[in-house]
Structure 1
Amino acid sequence: MSDTFIDVLTLGMWQANCYVIGNLEQREAVVIDPGQGGDGPVQEILDERGVTCQAILLTHGHLDHLWAVPSLVADLDVPVRMHAEDRWLWDSPAAAFGAPPAMLQTQFGLDWQPPTEHLETFGDGQTMALAGLAFTAHHTPGHTPGSSVFITDQVGPAPVMVSGDLIFAGSVGRTDFPRGSRDTQDQSIRRVVLPQPDETRIISGHGPETTVGRERLTNPFVVPLTTH
């Protein structure tokens, strides 16, 4: 679709990628993973593109991917959708570090007050109609229990996978955080990533864009999974 767009913002101390994906004809967009300091830049993109935000989608509940959610929800009054298995991180992002909630204030100066009244969940394989586009959510646990990816084939000539921290260009997500599992993550990659067409674009939570075909052939963490 020629009237669609993907804008990327690389945010905060963790250099996490936030995506604004929209439809100029519909004048609507979705925001995915708005991290530290993302509220102002996200609003600037929405204003520059002349679109309104329909929803915020979260690939998982780590702080670098949801830091700006409370302030954005206060400004935009939109639902936030994440997998239910990461609700523990929504309630207390410090749990990702194995730390008490007060750690967010003492170490990062963040007074975490999540807008839980706006929180919604999605299921594995659920297709969400947002901004005139169809996003299919796939539950891909491993990095976190609720880690998920969103796939759409309605933005540009090739399908797009918003992969969060499941897979990156040349690497995969860490699994040494609380409730992470390398074996589970490998299963998620086999089940969700490897069946996708080679031309599928992977836009991940950190680093540059890549494709399924490139990672299938060159990613040292993925290549062994193609032979089993």
Structure 2
Amino acid sequence: MTYSGAVKVGGPADVHELTDLMISKVAVGSMNNNAYLLRCRYTGEQLLIDAAAEPHTLLRLIGDDGIMSVVTTHQHGDHWQALAEVVAATGARTCAGKYDAQGIAVPTDVLLQDGDTVRVGRVELTARHLTGHTPGSIVLIYDDPHGHPHVFTGDCLFPGGVGNTWGDPAAFVTLLDDVQHKLFDRLPDESWVYPGHGGDTTLGDERPKLGEWRERGW
């Protein structure tokens, strides 16, 4: 079946099957958070992005093979409510942005900085530090050698705009600048965007709107 990225709380995961990586997306919790399970097709090693809520749902998705790591995209509580339970059940190491780790209730084992590599089996992802939604939000980029990039943006980029900056003009400009310089200026239109809530998009679908976002200020 074709992957769409359309998931709902209580519903099944949607699976994006790539040559080297399988990406399973599931929606959890009262804030409709997305969690993503990445599985290396060569080694079977798995990594979870955002143990947001519903630990039973996430552990069922993970299955008996367990996970090596959990990456928390940023410090807001709706993105790590299930982290303690998932780590306790799997023994996974925790990863988060260096400047957001202190705001996450579960201790962080690996402090990620801009440009750091995160591995799941033979697959490598690149962490990018974006400021504005939080001080240390982390975006993960998988530059698929067999296709286009795949970008896990947390709450920094959604269909229709960047993440919430709560009416702070300076934070908005900082976030939009980071999103533009570190994502849009470096990656092609085909790049698939997996946000922290709601449906997916591509950089090509959003690129024409950058000027509109900057003008409107949110």
Output the TM-score relative to the length of structure 2: 0.82
Which segments of 5 or more consecutive residues in structure 1 lack a partner in the other structure?
Answer: 92-113
CA RMSD of aligned residues (A): 2.3
Query: Retained in 1: the 8 A contact 2:126–2:141?
Result: yes
Q: CA deviation at 1:90?
A: 1.2
Query: Retained in 1: the 8 A contact 2:21–2:40?
Result: yes
**Is 1:217 aligned to 2:208, yes or no?**
yes
User: Which position in structure 2 is the counterpart of 1:128?
Assistant: 118
Q: CA deviation at 1:170?
A: 1.2
* Amino acid of the structure 1 residue aligned with 2:40: N
**Is 1:66 aligned to 2:80, yes or no?**
yes
Distance 1:152 1:192, change over 3 A: same
> After the TM superposition, which residues 21-60 of structure 1 pair with which residues of structure 2 at under 5 Å, given as runs?
21-37=38-54, 39-47=55-63, 51-60=65-74
Partner-residue secondary structure (3-state), 2:190: coil
> After the TM superposition, which residues 66-215 of structure 1 pair with which residues of structure 2 at under 5 Å, given as runs?
66-91=80-105, 114=106, 116=107, 119-154=109-144, 157-176=147-166, 181-195=171-185, 196-215=187-206
**Is 1:6 aligned to 2:23, yes or no?**
yes
User: Which position in structure 2 is the counterpart of 1:98?
Assistant: none
Q: Partners of 1:87 and 1:156 in 2: how far apart?
A: 33
Number of residue pairs matched by the alignment: 197
Q: Partners of 1:88 and 1:199 in 2: how far apart?
A: 35
Q: CA deviation at 1:217?
A: 1.8
Q: CA deviation at 1:75?
A: 0.5
Distance 1:221 1:153, change over 3 A: same
User: Which position in structure 2 is the counterpart of 1:111?
Assistant: none
Q: Partners of 2:40 and 2:25 in 1: how far apart?
A: 15
Query: Retained in 1: the 8 A contact 2:21–2:123?
Result: no
Query: Retained in 2: the 8 A contact 1:16–1:206?
Result: yes
* Amino acid of the structure 2 residue aligned with 1:43: L
* Amino acid of the structure 2 residue aligned with 1:132: R
Query: Retained in 2: the 8 A contact 1:149–1:162?
Result: yes
User: Which position in structure 2 is the counterpart of 1:19?
Assistant: 36
Q: CA deviation at 1:129?
A: 2.1
Which segments of 5 or more consecutive residues in structure 2 lack a partner in the other structure?
Answer: 1-17
Query: Retained in 2: the 8 A contact 1:198–1:213?
Result: yes
Percent identity, aligned pairs only, is: 26
Distance 1:22 1:223, change over 3 A: farther
Q: Deviations over 1:102-133 (max 9, x none)?
A: xxxxxxxxxxxx2x2x5320111111222221
Q: Partners of 1:64 and 1:156 in 2: how far apart?
A: 34
